[in-house]
Amino acid sequence: MAVIPWFEFGFMAPANYELYRRHPDWFTQKQGVLPIPETLEPALPGPAKAQSRLGTSSKTPTIPLGTDSVSREKQRVDHWLAQAPPLEVDPALLDDPGIWMEGGVIPRRWLNPFHPQAQKFLLELINDLMTNYEVDGFQFDDHLGLPVEFGYDPYTINLYRAEHNGQSPPSNPQDEAWITWRANKISDFLAEVYKLVKARRPQAVVSISPNPYPFAYVTYLQDWPTWVNRGLVDELVVQLYRSDQNRFIWEMNKPSLQAALRKIPTSAGILSGLRAAPSAWGRLATRSRRCAIAAWPACPFSSTSRCGFPPRPKAVMTA
């Protein structure tokens, strides 16, 4: 049996995270009215006036996000709420451009994937894991990324300006070049993670469990086909959490997934149920059979939701 810890939150953090109180500049935000501090690194000559003065590109194509933009997060939130007391959200948080509402319910913050101190923080956690514990690897999921509407914090704005002759980021968060710039930075961070892991434990597995492509890219800036092509991932478990069987099969047959399957161990993540919404056993069996027909490994999420609900037939529970 392999031991592979799951770094579920990635760059995501609780709204009341102690690290945010200590280092708010390590976190990113959506467009908002927060003033830009006078001293920033990196910075261009001359003071930055206000964050609201964002540039616009001459061409800002909008990439459609589709209808599944909150499906994964909604499932996670339903699972969480089924086990916790009702959540009371401070109304002031709703106006904070640094807050992201997970599933439209739970307030979260995001460490800035482009800030060197935020990167150092995560790298030190991974280094501690790889150095001090007998693990066989570790896994990031869809939170090794950033919601596409984020990246308008002072540090990132000035970093972008420094690399674009003083031009500010586009005000359209779905601008194609702006998405690519941020996604490439996240890919470069994963390269540092991979290098660190292999230096500490050469045989350790770097596993990633993202959403399907291109949804993962246009929604969370996760360019995982590039990660596979660059050799930054040893194992891929794509979250095919689809209630519709035809959509599940369609996702399996996407070129991005088929290409990954030819290069590294690739599994279909199937949702085995949540406390708030258990999956029918027939549906799980159908998904598993479909994976078997395609010679795909199937990875249920999660084992506790599969076996922790009220009675199932013993033969099924032990299958």
Tell me whether residue 314 is in a domain: no
Tell me whether residue 52 is in a domain: yes
Tell me whether residue 255 is in a domain: no
**Residue 136, domain extent:** 6-239
The confidence band for 188, taking pLDDT boundaries of 50, 70 and 90, is: very high
Tell me whether residue 265 is in a domain: no
Tell me whether residue 182 is in a domain: yes
Q: State the helix-helix crossing angle for 281-293 and 245-252, rounded to 10 degrees.
A: 30
Q: Record the tokens describing residue 8, joined without a space.
A: 């579920």
Q: Record the tokens describing residue 10, joined without a space.
A: 């990635």
Average pLDDT over residues 49-56: 38
Tell me whether residue 19 is in a domain: yes
How many domains, the chain?
1
State yes or no: pLDDT of 305 exceeds 80.
Answer: no
pLDDT tens-digit series, residues 132-172: 999 999 999 889 999 999 999 999 999 999 999 999 999 99
Entry pTM: 0.78
Average pLDDT over residues 176-194: 98
pLDDT tens-digit series, residues 85-137: 666 778 888 889 999 999 888 899 999 999 999 999 999 999 999 999 999 99
pLDDT tens-digit series, residues 54-89: 444 433 333 344 444 445 666 666 655 655 566 677
* Residue 138: closest CA among 159, 123, 117: 123
State yes or no: pLDDT of 265 exceeds 80.
Answer: yes
Mean pLDDT of the chain: 79
Tell me whether residue 46 is in a domain: yes
State yes or no: pLDDT of 21 exceeds 50.
Answer: yes
Tell me whether residue 274 is in a domain: no
